[in-house]
Structures are given as structure tokens and as C-alpha cells.
Chains A and B, each alone.
Chain A
Amino acid sequence: METDELLINMGPVHPSTHGVLRFKLRMDGEIIKECTPVLGYLHRGTEKLGEMKTYLQFIPYTDRLDYVSAFPNNYVFVKAVEELAGIEVPLRAEYIRVITMELNRIVNHLVSIGSLLMDLGAATMIMWGFRERENALQLFEKLCGARMTFNYIKPGGVREDIPEGFIPQLNEFLKDMEKRIEDYEQLINSNEIFLMRMKNIGVISAQEAVNYGMTGPTLRGSGVDYDLRRYEPYSIYPDLDFKVCSRPEGDSYARYIVRIDEMKESLHILRQVVDTMPEGKIVSNPKYGIAPMTGTPSAVSTYFPRIFTPPAGEVYSRIEAPKGELGFYVVSDGTTKPYRVKIRSPSFCNLTAIPKMVVGLKIPDLIAAFGTIDVVLGDVDR
């Protein structure tokens, strides 16, 4: 019998592509022969806008790159600017930043695991995930007034101090979350269908993962025990005690487990940070050093000049965002606007490996493998 190859188009509007990604698939029967992702349906020209805005004006745009976890985006751009201009940051501000980033890591993994399971046909987890996410968002809202797009971390510190009642609410969230994660594990980890869908699917070896430039939980799921928080420490991470979670298998299941473990580690980190939180100023001024005035400022803009010019130079600054290594390459020419902003987004680089991972699998397995890579299209296309 004569057989023919089949071309299948998936996306850009497809419920399982987490946004507007498109796959072109060449199929041999049910088996994927070749998979070509087509990107750019959400290309918003953020890098060009970076050249058109001042440093402070650009911070809101970083929120909208990886919109599921916006705090780390804020932070890494600000970190690059701070490194460029040599701005000191008060210790309390660093603590607040770490609280926000770790909370955001939990939120990110909740959304990622929830939508992964929804794609596999299990609707419970996304309901649960969004329930807990809502609690975390209430904390964010208390802190900075926004649910998703925060614009909170500013050069020299943070925009506002922790409001009253935040820490008790956070403690409650931590206590609650611990139980919830156990629930998730009970619900999912030993589910027969889930295991069959995830084990040995989308396998990528450690060597290949490194070669493809994968980072974050996807890399750690392949057994490379690497985390920028540990090995290129920034902020207050050197003082904190946490494990780097990794699994040797390199399949979808391993990546999922790494995410669950990371949530637990984030809870552990948050508990330490809350316990050792110092008092003090939350913002510094590039001219005068750490907060010269008394009292807690309500807005950085009153302390931090709106127009500010870092010295000419270039910097590549990177952190461990929930999705992997997030870096900003900023070139300053000594004017009020960046000369060039390049965003190294983890989703974009992790997605590179998808064509390799799915050859020989079926389409539902592509969904499973893709779900565990955890991309956000705003981060891929920028």
C-alpha cells in the first residue's frame, strides 16, 4: 500500500500551545517526523522600545515579557542598570525583592503545572493551582497594587515598603501552601495515566540539553545540577539555605517533579527570609548612597531621580528566573535612554530543543513534552 506523509498545522490559536505559538508537523501516520515551531505571533518589539524609553520607563515593559512571573523580569533589568551605574541597594530592599521573586516562582510553577495537566485532560489541577495563585496575587496586590504587572522593583531598591499585615498573611499562605503541595502530590504523582503520559516522553540528555542552551527546571530535569542562585549568587541568596533540585531522567516526568520540588524549596527560602528580615531603608539614591532622608518613602520617584544617566558601558546580567536563565544585555552610551537592550529569555532558548525532543512521538506527547518546557509566548517572542 502506498503511504504518504501528512502535513499538520497546529496553532497559532490552539488551546494547548499556551498562547500564539504555531507548530508545523510532518507526520508519518501518527508519528511526528519533523516539527517546526513558527514564532513571532506575539512579537511586540520590546527591544526597540527599550531604545526609545528612559531607564525607568522601560521597567513596565519588562513586566510584560514573562507575564506569569513578572518580578524576576523587573529585577534582572534593574540589576543590570544597578551594575552599570554602581548603585548600592539597602539590605531590606533585597529581602523584599527575594520575597517577591520566590513567591512569583511558586505562582509560575502553579500555572505551569496546572496548564500542563489541563492539556493532558485533567482539569482539577488548574482549578487548584489558580485557587492558590489567587492567594499569592492578593499578597502582590497588597504590596504594590497590581496583580500581574507590578513595576515594583526600581533601581536602588523597591517602590514601596511592606504594608501592615503583609507578613502575617504571607505566613498564612506559606502554611497553607505546604499542605496544598502535599495534596497535589497525592493527586498527581502516582496517577497511572499521568505516569504513562509523562515517563520517557520528550527525553533529552544532559549533554544535549546543555548544547541546546536549555536552562532552569528543564535543564535540571536532565540531571545538570545547575542553578544561578547557587553558582553565580546575587542578591541575598548566598546567605540562604536551599537545595538545588534536579533529576537525572531527562523526561517530562522529571521536569514536572523538579517544579514541584522547587516550590517546596521556595517555601523554605521564604520562611527563612521572613524570619531574618532586617529593618531599615528600602531605597538608595545614586547620588547620596543609601536613603539619606528619614522616614519610609512612599515612592522611589521622590528619592530616585526620574531621569538618570548611568555611565557609558555595557553589561550582561542574568538571574535564575522560574523558567530558566533570564538575562538582560544593556548598553549605555551615557544618555538618558539605553543604547541597546537585548533580552535573553529562557522560554526562547528552551523552546529550541522541542524539534529534537518530539521526533518519533505522537501529537499528544508533543503536548506533554511542550507543557513541561513551560514557555510563555510573551517571553519567546518579546
Chain B
Amino acid sequence: MDPVTIDTTKIKTVKKKPVTALEKLEDTGLISTVLAAREREGLILFSTVDQIFNWARLSSLWPVTSGLACCAIEMMAVAMAHHDIARFGMEIFRASPRQADLMFVAGTVTKRMAPRVKQLYEMMPEPKWVIAVGSCASTGGPYHESYAVLKGVDLIIPVDVYIPGCPPRPEAWLYGVIQLREKIKNEGYGAKWGLNK
């Protein structure tokens, strides 16, 4: 079967205010090649499975509460009204790893905590992402020379985004979240399982 090719130059885009739900969706820019069937006024949606899945995933990342040290206080600040992480649909910090798909490793991972962090990660269902927040989680940070601290959480679990800082400012934190959303947006379906390789 021939793939359908669409000559995008022929499509006239008139920027108008989004009214219908579908138009609003288009307006977010999250689904880039969405083409609505105009005749049926938004009842049919063309996209790829990848994009729909990714869009759904990145729009409601639920983090697991795993505050480990100082950075966890900034995590609370990010979640509260002033910085308001709810803008990204991720204000629901889950206490159970089974209900979460994102882990902020916020703080120092000590040797004694390391197996617990790993277990927590393993308990999360696929697909899952990890953000290492602060220099401690990234490299050991100020405690690099200590006998009791793991030198970076990437020694035990894979990390998607590193946010430097000690602690990172909430703005840096949000920037890290945006980076992760960028990353998820470009993932292929099943990328987490290695299916499209």
C-alpha cells in the first residue's frame, strides 16, 4: 500500500481563535500533525499512535513522592501555589510507586537508601521516567567525598534528565520538567520496550 502523502503547502492555515475542543487541542501544539476532518467538524482525528500516546503521557506525569533530602523541600515549594506544578498536570504526588510514572530523585542518595530507591524504581510500572534533581542525585555533589553517599543515582537506575543546582531553583526544576516533556514528545511507540529498534 502506498503511504498517503499530504502536500502541506496546499493547506491554508488561518490563525483563528480555537473554539471547539479539537481546535483547542490543535492549538496546544503538542500534537503537531493533527489534521481534523473539517466536514465532520472535529469528530475524526488523524494522528499517529506515537503522538497520541506521548501526548497523553506527557500531559499527566504523576510523580512518586520520594523526597530524600534538602531538595525535597524545594520539591514541596514547586508543588505549592507559588510555582504551581499543576500547570503541567503533575500536582498529584503519589505515595505509591504503582500509581506513578515519574520519579524525582530529590536529594542525596545514601548508600543505605540506594537499594530502596532502586526498589522503588522497579516497583513503578512502565513506561517510567526519572529526573535526578540536584548535584547530589547527579554526582554526589557536596558529599562526593563522603563514605556514606552514592556518587550519583545513575549508578543504580537510568536517568532521563539531570537538573543541576544545590538545590535547583524552582524555575530550574520546571525547566527540567519541560525538557522531559520534550523528550517524551519525541519518543517512538514502544521506545521504552525497545520495540522500534
Asked, given contacts A13-B120, A41-B113, A64-B142, whether A133 binds B77 with beta carbons under 8 Å apart, the answer is: yes
What B residues does A15 contact at CB under 8 A?
Answer: 65, 93, 95
User: Is A52 an interface residue, CB under 8 A from the partner?
Assistant: yes
Q: Which residue of A lies closest to B113 (CB)?
A: A41
What A residues does B81 contact at CB under 8 A?
Answer: 127, 130-131
Contact across chains for A44 and B149 when beta carbons are under 8 A apart: yes
Q: Which residue of A lies closest to B120 (CB)?
A: A13
List which B40-56 residues lie within 8 A (CB) of chain A: none
User: Is B146 an interface residue, CB under 8 A from the partner?
Assistant: yes
Q: How many angstroms from the CA of A48 to the CA of B65 in the assembled complex? A: 30
User: Is A111 an interface residue, CB under 8 A from the partner?
Assistant: yes
User: Is A250 an interface residue, CB under 8 A from the partner?
Assistant: no
User: Is A332 an interface residue, CB under 8 A from the partner?
Assistant: no
Contact across chains for B76 and A130 when beta carbons are under 8 A apart: yes
Interface pick from B1-9, B66-74, B153-161, B183-191? B66-74
Q: How many angstroms from the CA of A61 to the CA of B67 in the assembled complex? A: 19
What B residues does A44 contact at CB under 8 A?
Answer: 69, 108, 110, 143, 146, 148-149
Contact across chains for A12 and B142 when beta carbons are under 8 A apart: no
User: Is A199 an interface residue, CB under 8 A from the partner?
Assistant: no
Asked, given contacts A13-B66, A64-B70, A378-B70, whether A42 binds B108 with beta carbons under 8 Å apart, the answer is: yes
Q: How many angstroms from the CA of A377 to the CA of B112 in the assembled complex? A: 14
What B residues does A126 contact at CB under 8 A?
Answer: 76, 80
What A residues does B193 contact at CB under 8 A?
Answer: none
Contact with B along A340-356 (1 / 0, CB 8 A): 00000000000000000
Q: How many angstroms from the CA of A39 to the CA of B73 in the assembled complex? A: 19
Contact across chains for B69 and A13 when beta carbons are under 8 A apart: no
User: Is B178 an interface residue, CB under 8 A from the partner?
Assistant: no
What is the interface size of chain B, counting residues whose CB is below 8 A from a CB of the partner?
33
User: Is A270 an interface residue, CB under 8 A from the partner?
Assistant: no
Contact across chains for B146 and A19 when beta carbons are under 8 A apart: no
Asked, given contacts A41-B113, A43-B110, A130-B82, whether A147 binds B74 with beta carbons under 8 Å apart, the answer is: yes
Contact across chains for B95 and A67 when beta carbons are under 8 A apart: no
Contact across chains for A130 and B80 when beta carbons are under 8 A apart: yes
Asked, given contacts A48-B147, A49-B145, whether A149 binds B110 with beta carbons under 8 Å apart, the answer is: no
Q: Which residue of A lies closest to B79 (CB)?
A: A130
What B residues does A137 contact at CB under 8 A?
Answer: 77
User: Is A148 an interface residue, CB under 8 A from the partner?
Assistant: yes
User: Is B98 an interface residue, CB under 8 A from the partner?
Assistant: no
CB distance from A121 to the nearest CB of B (A): 13
Q: Which residue of B lies closest to A22 (CB)?
A: B116
What A residues does B70 contact at CB under 8 A?
Answer: 64, 67, 148-149, 378
User: Is A209 an interface residue, CB under 8 A from the partner?
Assistant: no
CB distance from B79 to the nearest CB of A (A): 9
Contact across chains for B110 and A41 when beta carbons are under 8 A apart: yes
Contact with B along A39-56 (1 / 0, CB 8 A): 011111110110010000
CB distance from B115 to the nearest CB of A (A): 11
Q: How many angstroms from the CA of A107 to the CA of B167 in the assembled complex? A: 17
Asked, given contacts A13-B65, A19-B68, A131-B80, whether A148 binds B167 with beta carbons under 8 Å apart, the answer is: yes
List which A27-45 residues lie within 8 A (CB) of chain B: 40-45
Q: How many angstroms from the CA of A194 to the CA of B167 in the assembled complex? A: 34
List which A99-119 residues lie within 8 A (CB) of chain B: 111, 115
User: Is B166 an interface residue, CB under 8 A from the partner?
Assistant: yes
User: Is B169 an interface residue, CB under 8 A from the partner?
Assistant: yes
Q: How many angstroms from the CA of A137 to the CA of B67 in the assembled complex? A: 20
Query: Interface on A for B, CB 8 Å cutoff?
Result: 12-15, 19-20, 40-46, 48-49, 52, 60-61, 64, 67-68, 111, 115, 126-127, 130-131, 133-134, 137, 147-149, 377-378
**A–B pairs, 26, beta carbons within 8 Å:** A15-B93, A19-B68, A19-B69, A19-B72, A40-B110, A41-B110, A41-B112, A41-B113, A42-B69, A43-B110, A44-B69, A44-B108, A48-B146, A49-B145, A60-B142, A111-B73, A126-B76, A130-B76, A130-B77, A130-B80, A131-B80, A131-B81, A134-B80, A134-B82, A147-B74, A148-B74
Query: Interface on B for A, CB 8 Å cutoff?
Result: 65-70, 72-74, 76-77, 80-82, 93, 95, 107-108, 110, 112-113, 116, 120, 142-143, 145-149, 166-167, 169
Given A12-B113, A149-B70, 4 more pairs with CB closer than 8 A: A42-B110, A43-B110, A126-B80, A131-B81
